[in-house]
Amino acid sequence: MSVLSRITDTHDYLMLIIPLIENPPWTRRLDKGKWQKLIDLKWTNVPPIDLLKVTKLEGQPWITLYHLIAKTIFRERYHLNTFRKGQLLRVRKYINEMMLDQLPFPGGYSTVYGRAHGHECSRAEFSRWWWE
């Protein structure tokens, strides 16, 4: 069995990543209403204004998702049925300008869009295209 086959069929990585984005185990809310994030293997208090700052752990699922979607060989192999598309669309609500500014997508967000459409794009266009 090839690695690609294991990623797409056996383990279905895209479907494994979605719960990590929706309910991240490295962010928690205490009974007192304070928020904490796991930063450098320690639970650290985070003021509400900083909750949208992406930590290293929070960025990993997004980068994995991006790389899987950006690879042509993966898109050709991965069968995007109704269920899978519905699951992927659930993470759309977490894509915002602040998140896109913090994540180091190789070549920029417009690279993947540009390859498919032959031109550069805005972040809003990329977000729409990525999840259509």
CA distance 74 to 77: 5
Position 113 pLDDT exceeds 70:
no
In a domain, 127, yes or no: no
What pLDDT band is residue 114 in, cutting at 50, 70 and 90? very low
- Specify the higher pLDDT residue, 36 or 116: 36
Number of domains within the chain: 1
Average pLDDT over residues 61-74: 84
Q: How far is CA 62 from CA 3, 36, 58, 100, in A?
A: 20, 20, 7, 10
pLDDT at 69: 80
The stretch 63-91 carries a mean pLDDT of 83
pTM for this model (two decimals): 0.75
| Residue range 58-71: mean pLDDT, rounded | 86
Residue 108 lies in a domain: no
Q: Is residue 131 part of a domain?
A: no
Its domain, for residue 67, covers 3-93
